[in-house]
Amino acid sequence: MEQQDSRRAAWALVVSGAAGFMAALDNLVVTTALPTLRRDLGGSLEDLEWTVSAYTLTYAVLLMFGAALGDRFGRRRFFGIGIALFTAASAAAALSSGIDALIAFRAVQGVGAAIMTPLSLTLLTAATPPERRGTAFGIWGAINGLAVATGPLIGGGLTEHISWHWIFWLNVPIGLLLLPLVRFRVAESRKPDARLDVLGTVLVSGGLFGIVFAVVNVNTYGWTGGRVLTGLVVGAVLLALFVRHGITHRNPMLPMRLFRNRAFSGINAAGLLMFFGMFGSIFLLSQFLQAVGGYSPTEAGLRMLPWTGMSLIVAPIAGRLADRVGGRVVAAWGLTCQAAGLAYYALVLSADLSYVAQLPALILSGVGMALYFAPAAALALSSVRPADQGIVSGTNAALREVGGAFGVAVLGSVFSARGGFESPQAIVDGTQPALWIGAAGVALAAVSAALIPRHGRPAAAGAAMAKAVREAAPGGGPDATDPAEATGGRAAGRPGTHAGTGAGH
């Protein structure tokens, strides 16, 4: 029996890790291919922004809805649907002959990722015994971190040595291999009392799309243009209705009561602002390295590694440091480092800037990103009672992706207003003020993290968190609300807990 449980957990880790890798990779894989896409498919800077934002925006706004679909109709079933949709959209993106088609299929990729990503963790939780979940989540997180770290390099290498189409073809064999494994190696689970908040999903999706659409089109039509004003007004109204819905609805996808919690509000504001500055800056700097630095796509991806790959080195150290001094302190210092790195980049940026002169900014940003990521999940989960941790995990991930979409839109608009692609100096003129805004956003994220309330000594907080989780396990207390957790626990012969809830800070 124990050997069977181990095999089940191992297969769940393989399948969920591979699915998470695909979804995380596609966040940044197109960044170093953007100049090639602009040359081969045509389109404006706004079109390039949408090749990134179409994915991150649909991914963000449908994350919680995707998890709810799995809870209601079967997690394994919808996990497979998400993989199939993501794989098919990747093939269609690879076959795209125009920028508009590519943007459309990138959006469909985001829908698939929004379904498979949250369910991958839920299925991994159900299949893994509680005492092994820390290791399993650590491996899952490392795989996702590797995807983020290597995204620009993989995208650049495939674009330069084969073609940009292979950025998307890469997902197809992985997806096709995963589908039978999901069907025959992963157990089904569901939450019978789960409810779908379709109205909430429509309101938040329409609202965010309207505002991002408006910001992306500012430089083409101006702030008083009909498209921009319509997008802003409709988006703002829909988001206001979403907030009201979250207050008055019995089972909203995002209960607004959670924002009364300072810790919850602080870590989510920090995540949104951090991704705003980070994604927007990487979007522009990957093009700066090629258009101004003269590097090939592969060379540009390699030169981004001191930033994107630093988490693989620093994150384990940051995790131990968070256990000693508290996650709030580590996250705040990490965001401060990231803001300083972007500010330094903006300060020294010039048309003849050497790569050696860029290294301090890249390393500082990378260290800061790693210091933030290490304690972020634990800070989010420990900010609420165990019964709310599923909602909190989804909200935190969704807001980070929304921040990334807004970062690309806003910093891209600043670039267009102040510069352009006409010459190296025009690229610098547009990138420099955008980086200052990115640095300011991350600095505000550091303030938000610093204002998170302290919960006593790290060890005491971790012990309190573990106690709360034990009480929330099936049969352990009044907060045991997810029957699927109980199913996963019984399959292993032990009580189940929620994904990631074993982490303290």
**Which whole number is the average pLDDT over 330-342?**
92
Could you report the per-residue pLDDT of 262-315, keeping only the tens digit for each? 888 888 899 899 999 988 898 888 889 888 988 888 888 888 888 877 777 787
Considering only residues 196 and 167, tell me which one the structure prediction assigns the higher pLDDT. Answer: 167
Task: Confirm if 133 and 502 have CB atoms less than 8 A apart.
Answer: yes
Q: Which band of pLDDT confidence, cut at 50, 70 and 90, is reported for residue 92?
A: very high
Q: Which band of pLDDT confidence, cut at 50, 70 and 90, is reported for residue 457?
A: very low
Task: Confirm if 155 and 167 have CB atoms less than 8 A apart.
Answer: yes
pLDDT for the residue 432: 93
Tell whether the model's pLDDT for residue 476 goes beyond 70: no
pLDDT for the residue 344: 95
What pTM does this model have? 0.76
Could you report the per-residue pLDDT of 103-144, keeping only the tens digit for each? 999 999 999 998 888 888 778 877 887 777 667 776 776 777
pLDDT for the residue 386: 67
pLDDT for the residue 262: 85
**Which whole number is the average pLDDT over 27-43?**
83
Give the DSSP letter string of 163-213.
-TTHHHHTHHHHHHHHHHHHHHHS-----TT----HHHHHHHHHHHHHHHH
Most confident of 32-36, 153-157, 328-332, 345-349: 345-349
Q: What is the C-alpha to C-alpha distance for residues 151 and 93, in angstroms, rounded to an integer?
A: 17
Three-class HEC string of 231-244: HHHHHHHHHHHHHH
Q: Which band of pLDDT confidence, cut at 50, 70 and 90, is reported for residue 189?
A: confident
Tell whether the model's pLDDT for residue 496 goes beyond 60: no
pLDDT for the residue 134: 63
Spatial CB neighbours of 250, under 8 Å, sequence gap ≥ 6: none
Considering only residues 274 and 327, tell me which one the structure prediction assigns the higher pLDDT. Answer: 274
pLDDT for the residue 138: 66
Q: What is the C-alpha to C-alpha distance for residues 423 and 345, in angstroms, rounded to an integer?
A: 19
Could you report the per-residue pLDDT of 196-242, keeping only the tens digit for each? 788 988 898 888 888 888 877 777 777 788 888 998 999 999 999 99
Q: What is the C-alpha to C-alpha distance for residues 308 and 362, in angstroms, rounded to an integer?
A: 9
**Which whole number is the average pLDDT over 480-498?**
34
Q: Token digits for 370?
A: 């790693």
Give the DSSP letter string of 200-256.
HHHHHHHHHHHHHHHHHTHHHH-TTSHHHHHHHHHHHHHHHHHHHHHHH-SS-SS-G
Q: What is the C-alpha to C-alpha distance for residues 485 and 474, in angstroms, rounded to an integer?
A: 8
